[in-house]
Structures are given as structure tokens and as C-alpha cells.
Structure 1
Amino acid sequence: MKPIYITTTVLSTALFLSSCAEKPKENVAVEAVPKIETFEVRKEKLSTELMMPAELVGFQQVDLYAKVASFVKELKVDIGAQVKKGQLLVVLDAPETSSQLTAAESRLHSQQSVYTASNSTYNRLLETSKVEGTISSNDLEQAEARKNADFAQLQAAKASYREVQTMLGYLQIRAPFDGVVASRNVNLGAYVGPSGKGSELPLFTIQEQRKLRLSVLVPEQYAGYLSVGDEMHFTVRSVLGRTFSAKIARKSGALDTKLRSEKVEMDVSNSANILLPGMVAEVMLLLNAKDSTYVVPKSAVVTSSEGIFVVAVENNKTVRTKVQKGREFKDKIEIFGPFTAKTMLVKSASEEIKDGTELK
């Protein structure tokens, strides 16, 4: 009986070891803890650039019209001519106005004679009235009234004569400033005037081209970064490979109601006549922040249906904080919100990070 017991025990032990060897080991899953990187928000002075289309126009430009109904008698200049201030450009002919001047001059001489006579009569009566009983007071008053009335008529005649003289002066049209004749719309003998077909187009258009204006419409959100005196750079397509510079000379100080933009003008020296009015330019606006602002990586700002926010860290827990976005430059962006110099933000924020997420 003893040998049989030993054999049974050995077989049982072998079977147990075999079953243990065949049973596979179970893998224990280890929960991965997500890594959340944070940073301390800081202020910077962000400088960005904005490329905007602009237009070059003459520093001064005027359209010249005829004030008197007349005909073109002489043309002194043509398109492209360089003119000086006060230079005669065109001579007009208006026979009716010349006749009016002659008539006004005749009335003036006539009224001068009438006034001279009435004034002389009044003076004689005044001297005679000094002898008591020679001239009645009524006669003296009537003579004085007649003299005053004739004097008023004389002044009216002088005003009428000067008016016709002024109208005749409009028959000679002169250049109001130094510039270039940009356009001419009349020929010899053409009828011109303040009304009718003769007034549809200007006689001449004069432009000052030695100095130009560069006009650009700056969107509302960027207008506050520009100041008078800031230097800007621009290029034009007709002059390739060259960059021009100009300083901001004036700002409109108001927004256009349609485009919601502010008009900014720069004065451009053009003594070499390289640039022409009407050219389209590409101007590079340098937007330099006047004060330091909070600048963060773009990955820290989340734009969702709930709004624009960043994920701040308070007491080792996440808190969504709504912000306003400013300018963007490369991988950085301006934000405005309730921050301090020691506020910690999540660098790679997303909508999946909920409020109250504990950082480990």
C-alpha cells in the first residue's frame, strides 16, 4: 500500500504544475495621466505690420470752370504743361459783358455829374442861409435831401461798374498754384459758361505733382495704433524694385460710415516726378503698441460657440476665463482680460479641458 500512495501523490503534483504553466498571465492596465503644460502670462509691446492698398493724389488739385457765359478766344496752355501761379491759361470772349461795362461806365459818369451839381447847390444854399432871412429852412433841407439821394445813386453806380469789371476779370482764367495741366476739355471757339452744355466739363484740371498725398483707409481696429509723424513704407507697381517712404501728416479723426475706417494721409515728396497722381500703392503700416499688453501663444486661446476664452489655473484647478482678442503676429496673439502678472495659463487649451480639472 505504501508504494501506491507515493505514485498517486507524484501524479497529482505534476498535473497541478502543468495547469499552472498553461494559464496565461493577465496584463494590468495602467491609466495614463495627461500632461498639461502651463506658463505665466506676461506683458509685451507687440509690433505688427499691415499691408493696405492706398492711392496717390495730387497735393492740390482743382477743376477750372467758366463763371461767365462766353466763348473760348485763346488757349495759352495744353495738357502736360507746367504752369506757375498766376499764369494766364485761357482768354474768353463775352461781347455782352463788354457792352454792360460800357453802359455801367456811362451811368457812373452821369451820376457823378448829377451829384456834383446837387452837392454844389446845397453848399451855396448853406452859405447863403447864414444870412438870416435869405433862405428858408425847408429849401435847405430839400437841397440836402437831394444831395444825399444823388450820393446814394452815385455809390450804386460805382458798385454796378465794379461788378461788371469783376465779371470781365473772369474772362481771363489763371493758374491758382504751381502745377501741371492734367486735362483740357475745350477748344478754340467752344461755348462755356455757368449753365448748359458748356458747364458739363471743366476747362482745365490743374494738379500739383511736386508733392503728393498718399491716402489710405485704415480699419477701425488698427487706427488707434497709428500717430502723426509715424514713418511708413510703400511700393507702386509701375516702379518695381523700389521702396518709398513717407510720414503720416494727418488723420481724419473720424470713421467712414460705410467702411468703418479712418482716412490717413501721408505727404510724399515727388521732385523727380517718378510718381504720378492716380497710382495705386501698397503701403506697409507699422502697428506699434503704445502700451504693453498681454501676449500669449495662439494655442492658449480657444474660440468656440461659447465665446473666446483661455484656461487659467487657480489652486491647481482649471478655470475658463473669457478674453478679447487683439492683433495676431506669427504664433502670438494679444489678449485682454482680468489677468495679473502671476496668472498661470494652459499653453495648449481646448474645449475638452473642463472647469475644475485638477492638475497633477
Structure 2
Amino acid sequence: MKGLNKSLLYSTLVMVALGLLGCNGSNAEKEIKEEIPSVNAFLLQREALTDTLVISGELQAFLQVDLYAKVNSFVRQLNVDVGSRVSKGQLLAVMDAPEMNAQQDAVSSRLQSQEAIYMASKATYDRLFETSKTPGTISQNDLEQAQARKNADYAQLQALKAMLRESKNNRDYLEIRAPFSGIITSRNVSPGAFVGAGAGAAPLFTLQEQDKLRLIIHIPESNAGSIRLGQSVDFTVRSIPGQVFSSKAARLSGALDNTLRAQRIEMDVANKDNKLLPGMIPEVQLALQSSGDDTFVIPQSALLRSSLGTFVIKVQQGKTIWVPVQTGISSGDRIGVFGSLSLQDTLISTVTEEIRDGAVLKGQLKIGK
């Protein structure tokens, strides 16, 4: 019986010992797996990068306006048609509104009548005033009443003059003139047609300035800060193969579009020969440039793209740290990154997912360029 108890006790001790050895072996193996051999690294620096972005744009007329009738009227005369080149101030169309003629005649008649009334009241006041210079001949009340009538008649006269000026100005609305020099690109009415003013009315003409065009592009958020005013831009159009046109960035919106999440950039394009037409979709080649003052640049091999995100691997106090980053523009085997990084940080040159976060550097750390 005692021998049996000794055997059980011995077996138990052996099993416990084997278990402890197994745990120690597993931990040792885990520590070995978390150690990495010698690696190549570099010190993080700031640089300026350049790259070329190819993007579709749109050509628009530099100035464009739809010309509407200013009052309800009939089209009496059209002086231009589609394709007509016009100068600023040129008469494009003449409208007719018979009721405006009648209104002006009525105001003119009332004005003539009021002028006669005012002249009479003024003459009366002048006579009373001269007579009142002799004491006791004219009461002060009569003189004041005559002056009040004269002033009232004068006020009505001025009001009618203003009405006549307004009527003449309204007649000026019957003449449609070009607000700037350009080309008539559409005509929507014919002589004799009735045209209305206000919301819902159709335009008489569309006028465009085409000697200078706007080239409009939208730069994605990731590259929005890489464009500078005055930067050169080259583009081509399908209708003129083999010819490269040039322009410069003239206007930056300074904000991202809520829908496209992109910044609107406008370039002015000289078009004296009218080779280019509004509505064309050019292919734009845009040189992107990062600022060397705020961009960390690393080799492409130092960037780890995994299912968890985009990282660089930093070595600090003998251990590896996965640092999440965002990428900027790239040029060849170099790419700009942004994240919780500092100048002169030590980064591993060639990274893989086998280099785990928090691994211990077992071998030598070789610092290169």
C-alpha cells in the first residue's frame, strides 16, 4: 500500500515537472519569435518631392451671360445671330412695348400741366411778396398761404419730372446691348415673339467671351496643398492631337468642395485664334511639389501597407514601434508621409509584417542613408 502511494506521488511530481518545462519552453519560444535579427535603418529627414498628376479638366468661357428682356415686350428687331462677334455696348435687339409709349405720353402731358400750375402759383406769391414790402397792404397769413401753394406745386412738378425720367429709362430697357465683347453662342427668339421678364423667362441670347478661357480642374484632397499660384500647367485636347497648350494657375478656391472633396483650381488660357472651345475636356498634366519644410520622405520599401492600415516601423530603445501614417505625393522610389514622427527618428528601411510591433532587436542596427 505504501509502495503504491509512493508511485502515485512520483508520477504526480513528474507530470508537474513536465508541465513546468513545457510552459518555460513555450515562453522561450515566444520570446525567440518576438526577437528580430540585424536590420538596416535610416534617419528620418524632410525633403521636397515632385510628381506629375494627370487629371481631366474643363474649358469654360472666361465670361458668359444670358441676356434677358428687361420688361414684358415684343421683339421688334434682331441685329445678331448665332456666331456673331459683337463689341461691348453694341445694339443686339430692339423690343417694343406700346403701353410704355402711352405711359410716357401721359406723364409728359401731366408734367406740362403742372408746370403751368406752378408758374401761376409762383407768380402769385412773387406779387404778394413785393406788395407786402409796403406795411399794412398784405397780411402775413395770406403771404404764407401763397408760399405754401407755390411749394406744393413745385413738389408735384419735381415728382412728375422723376416719373418722366423713369418712363424714359424704361424705354431704354427696350434696347438690348452687349455688356462685353464676345460671340453670340445661342439665340432663342425671333422677330415678333413676345418675351417676358422675371423668373421663368427664357434668355434672348447667350454671349461668351472666348478670346480667353478658364481651364478648371479639381485637385483631390491628398494633393490639394501641392499647387501654388503661378504654377505652370500643360494640357492637351483630343481635337488637336500632338499640340501641348500651357497656362498658369491663376485662382485657388482655398476650400474643398463638399461633394467631390477636392479643391477647385482655375487657369487663364489665351485663345486669340479660337482653336479651343468652351466645353472641351482637356487632359491636364500638373506638376505636384511638396514643401521640404513639412514633408517627411521615406523610401517606398519602408512603408508597410497591411489590412490594419499604413505604417512605418520605428526603432526606439531597441524595440520596434508600428507608427500609423498618411501618404502624400510620391516620386520614383520615394514617398512623403505624415504622422506622429519627428526629425531623425530611426526607421527600418525594408519592412514586412513579420517584423511585429514591440519586437526586440536582437542583432545589430545598421544606419544608412
Q: Which residue of 2 aligns with 1:328?
A: 330
What SS does the aligned partner of 2:305 have? strand
- The 5 Å alignment of 1:107-122 reads 107-122=110-125
Q: Which residue of 2 aligns with 1:132?
A: 135
Shift in alpha-carbon separation, 1:327–1:359, aligned structure 2, 3 A? farther
Residue of 141, 155, 158 corresponding to 1:155: 158
- Which range moves more in the overlay, 132-141 or 320-329? 320-329
Q: Which residue of 2 aligns with 1:202?
A: 203
Shift in alpha-carbon separation, 1:66–1:340, aligned structure 2, 3 A? closer
CA distance in 1, matches of 2:252, 2:126: 66
Residue of 185, 193, 210 corresponding to 2:188: 185
What SS does the aligned partner of 1:222 have? helix
What SS does the aligned partner of 1:290 have? coil
C-alpha RMSD over aligned residues: 1.9
Q: Does 1:67 align with 2:46?
A: no
Q: Which residue of 1 aligns with 2:55?
A: 52
Q: Which residue of 2 aligns with 1:16?
A: none
Q: Report how far residue 218 of structure 1 moved.
A: 1.9
Q: Report how far residue 340 of structure 1 moved.
A: 4.7
CA distance in 2, matches of 1:62, 1:248: 24
Alignment-mate amino acid for residue 58 of structure 1: A
What SS does the aligned partner of 1:323 have? strand
What SS does the aligned partner of 2:244 have? strand
Q: Does 1:227 align with 2:228?
A: yes
CA distance in 2, matches of 1:218, 1:127: 82
Alignment-mate amino acid for residue 84 of structure 1: S
Residue of 313, 316, 325 corresponding to 1:314: 316
CA distance in 2, matches of 1:283, 1:229: 16
CA distance in 2, matches of 1:228, 1:115: 65
- Which range moves more in the overlay, 37-46 or 311-320? 311-320
Q: Say if 1:36 and 1:359, in contact at 8 Å, map to a contact too.
A: no
Give the number of equivalent residue pairs.
Answer: 326
Q: Which residue of 1 aligns with 2:366?
A: none
Q: Between the two structures, name the one with larger relative contact order (CA 8 Å, sep ≥ 6).
A: 2
Q: Which residue of 2 aligns with 1:275?
A: 276
Normalising by structure 2, what TM-score? 0.83
Q: Report how far residue 204 of structure 1 moved.
A: 0.5
CA distance in 2, matches of 1:236, 1:140: 84
Residue of 301, 320, 338 corresponding to 2:303: 301
Residue of 168, 174, 183 corresponding to 1:171: 174
CA distance in 2, matches of 1:216, 1:324: 24
Alignment-mate amino acid for residue 149 of structure 1: A
Alignment-mate amino acid for residue 345 of structure 2: T
Q: Say if 2:37 and 2:362, in contact at 8 Å, map to a contact too.
A: no
- Which range moves more in the overlay, 323-332 or 61-70? 323-332
Shift in alpha-carbon separation, 1:38–1:290, aligned structure 2, 3 A? closer
Q: Report how far residue 35 of structure 1 moved.
A: 5.7
What SS does the aligned partner of 1:278 have? coil
Q: Which residue of 2 aligns with 1:254?
A: 255
CA distance in 2, matches of 1:238, 1:359: 63
Q: Report how far residue 253 of structure 1 moved.
A: 2.3
Q: Which residue of 2 aligns with 1:216?
A: 217
Q: Report how far residue 52 of structure 1 moved.
A: 1.9
CA distance in 1, matches of 2:310, 2:360: 19
Q: Which residue of 2 aligns with 1:242?
A: 243
Residue of 80, 86, 89 corresponding to 1:77: 80
Gaps of 5+ in 1: 1-32
Normalising by structure 1, what TM-score? 0.85
Runs in 1 of length 4+ with deviation above 4 angstroms?
338-341
What SS does the aligned partner of 2:242 have? strand
What SS does the aligned partner of 1:250 have? strand
CA distance in 1, matches of 2:255, 2:142: 69
Q: Does 1:263 align with 2:267?
A: no
Q: Say if 1:217 and 1:262, in contact at 8 Å, map to a contact too.
A: yes
